[in-house]
């Protein structure tokens, strides 16, 4: 075997090695992409559960609200106002759950990595915005028991102060969640828990796995 034959054989083997490496790279990228897709299963399951549980809850609130309007007026009615606000806020949350579920199913993990990342980031931003509004219902849970027939006209001073304190704390919590639920505050232990509840953990894990694909391509 002369030098030219050896060189041709070497080039042939080198091409085969490159083809194998390229195939392995494609398979690895596909594996990571499928792993990123499966990571979102937890988010989808949580949203589906929320929709299943949320629908009868909204129906109950709506029924109570409808009956309340038939037997009483809204003016000065702490109960109806509280139920009404809780209903409206939960209606928005319910709509957000449906939208997030649709967004998660619209993500095409067979497409370009940059496109998938953009869709995941859009979903992440939407999740953050949604959770920021959940806290707004908190103060209204503290006023459900009040009745204008005795509060505050017939309530003693201590009771009024306690009510103001409780409602004030719930209002503070709602405002705090709205103002602080941001990605830059993700190291705060409360924000971390809210991130987990919102499903951001699954989205962040999926983004991290897609970053591995980008690193393989470089």
Q: Would you say 127 and 100 are in contact if contact means Cβ atoms under 8 Å apart?
A: yes
What per-residue confidence (pLDDT) applies to 21?
A: 45
**Token output for 48:** 């589906």
CA dihedral in degrees (182, 183, 184, 187; nearest 10)? 100
Of 144, 138, 43, which Cα lies nearest the Cα of 96?
A: 43
Task: Check whether 9 has a pLDDT greater than 90.
Answer: no
Query: Residue 116 CA to chain centroid, in angstroms?
Result: 17
Residue that wins the pLDDT comparison between 58 and 201:
58
Q: What is the pLDDT of residues 145-163, one digit of tens each?
A: 887 776 777 778 888 899 9
Highest mean pLDDT pick, 3-7, 16-20, 57-61, 131-135: 57-61
CB atoms within 10 A of CB 50: 19
**Token output for 128:** 């953050």
Question: What confidence category does residue 116 fall into, taking pLDDT thresholds of 50, 70 and 90?
Answer: confident
- C-alpha dist (Å) from residue 196 to 12, 151, 189: 52, 39, 11
**Of 22-31, 48-57, 117-126, 167-176, the least confident:** 22-31
Q: What is the pTM of this model?
A: 0.78
């Amino acid at each position: 075997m002369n030098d030219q034959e050896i060189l041709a054989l070497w080039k042939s083997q080198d091409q085969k090695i490159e083809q194998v490496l390229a195939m392995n790279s494609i398979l690895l990228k596909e594996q990571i992409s499928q792993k990123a897709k499966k990571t979102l299963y937890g988010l989808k399951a949580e949203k589906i559960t929320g929709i299943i549980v949320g629908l009868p809850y909204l129906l109950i609130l709506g029924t109570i609200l409808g009956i309340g309007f038939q037997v009483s007026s809204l003016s000065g009615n702490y109960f109806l106002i509280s139920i009404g606000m809780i209903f409206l806020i939960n209606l928005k949350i319910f709509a957000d759950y449906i939208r997030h579920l649709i967004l998660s199913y619209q993500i095409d993990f067979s497409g370009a990595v940059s496109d998938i990342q953009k869709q995941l980031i859009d979903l992440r931003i939407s999740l953050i915005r949604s959770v920021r509004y959940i806290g707004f219902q908190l103060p209204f849970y503290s006023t459900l028991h009040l009745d204008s027939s005795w509060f505050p006209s017939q309530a003693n001073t201590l009771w009024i102060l306690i009510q103001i304190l409780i409602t004030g704390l719930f209002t503070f919590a709602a405002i705090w969640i709205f103002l602080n639920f941001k990605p830059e505050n993700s190291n705060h232990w409360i924000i971390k828990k809210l991130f987990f509840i919102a499903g951001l953990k699954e989205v962040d894990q999926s983004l991290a796995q897609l970053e591995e694909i980008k690193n393989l391509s470089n």
